[in-house]
Amino acid sequence: MPSADAGGLGQTTEGFKHVCAAIDSGSSVLVLAELGMVGTMPQDLAKHYGGEYEIATAIYKGSGKKFFVAIAEQLDIPTTEPKYNKEGEPVGEKAMTMDALKDEIAENIGPQTLLIFPEAKRLTTGVRYWLEDAIANGVKVICFAATNPGRDIFLEVLEVELELPSDKLIRETMQAEAERMGLQLSRSRLAELQPLAGRNPMLARKVIRNERLGRNREASPQHTQYVVIMPILIACLMAFGVVRFIGMGTRNKSLYIFGGVALIAGMTLKQVGQVRGARKRLGQ
């Protein structure tokens, strides 16, 4: 097992161990990591399990047939079938249809197979349903995504969330990228630039490239975070309830009506609107 930086830059050995532990327990895994933080973990996992499983790594790029052909070729599964003339005599071979490919792959995979999908969000409904049957037959699947889509196969697999890299590692990433580009940056300048990338190695490298072009002077943070507003909404509902009771106690009809209307509107927003939070740029 890799001893350091197991998942590539930005990944921790601990996160790599958790993924391996889930696979070793016989479960498929959904690895949650912010875009740009996956690094080389898919390749490292394929290398780590190369002697134990038959492995295929694929990214869906709009063509289902090319996707399944890529899987079949890595697993040494035929992608062609005999072609016959009108007399029923073989006259060569022809490429399998996508449905035939799916059936052929399904018949040749099992508990000894490990499928790795670095960008799970691209998988179509048809592919996910096919994977559902594959998992039921013992196939191990490792998917990478920023968030859990919360449907079909993703409800069954184990989740492993990768920890964010340390600030020190981000600065080292920025320093390495600057040296690669022949850019001399002081420690103080690196400290000024780091908030633009947060704790994402991919953005850290991008910030250095922008620095070389002089585009960081007016730049805003490029990473995002979720701002949860549900506690604020609940506090507002309680405040409206208090206003309503004050209006009732003082016999002030205006406060009583305002508090009641606001309370009902807030509860409707909470129940029907399903407010989950706003996505904003960090620092705004």
Q: Rounded to whole angstroms, how far apart are CA atoms 40 and 8?
A: 4
First to last CA, the chain: 41
Higher local confidence (pLDDT), 86 or 66:
66
Window from 102-116, 178-192, 197-211, 222-236 with minimum mean pLDDT: 222-236
Helices 201-212 & 167-180 angle (0-180, nearest 10): 40
> Mean of the pLDDT values across residues 240-261?
79
Task: Give the range with max mean pLDDT: 137-151, 216-230, 233-247.
Answer: 137-151
Burial state string for 135-168 with b = 16 or more CB within 10 A and e = fewer than 16 = beeebbbbbbbeeebeeebbeebeebebebbeee
Q: Rounded to whole angstroms, how far apart are CA atoms 141 and 146?
A: 17
Query: Is a pLDDT exceeding 60 seen at residue 28?
Result: yes
Rg (CA), the chain: 26
Largest CA distance in the chain: 97
Angle at 203 between CA 200 and CA 204, to 5 degrees: 80
Tokens of 232: 């604020």
**Residues 279, 226: contact at Cβ < 8 Å?**
yes
Q: Rounded to whole angstroms, how far apart are CA atoms 98 and 127?
A: 11
**Residues 263, 257: contact at Cβ < 8 Å?**
no
Cβ of 127: how many Cβ atoms within 10 Å?
19
Query: Is a pLDDT exceeding 50 seen at residue 278?
Result: no
Higher local confidence (pLDDT), 152 or 282:
152
> In which element (H, E) is residue 4 found?
none
Burial of 214 (0-12, 13-18, 19+ CB in 10 A): exposed
Angle at 269 between CA 261 and CA 149, to 5 degrees: 175
> Mean of the pLDDT values across residues 38-62?
91
**DSSP category for residue 3:** S
Tokens of 214: 């002089």
pLDDT for the residue 249: 81
Q: Looking at this protein, which amino acid is placed at residue 156?
A: E
Q: Calculate what percentage of the chain has a pLDDT beyond 70.
A: 84
Q: Rounded to whole angstroms, how far apart are CA atoms 242 and 249?
A: 10
Q: pLDDT band for 275, please (50, 70, 90 cuts).
A: very low
Q: Rounded to whole angstroms, how far apart are CA atoms 266 and 47?
A: 53
**Residues 23, 138: contact at Cβ < 8 Å?**
no
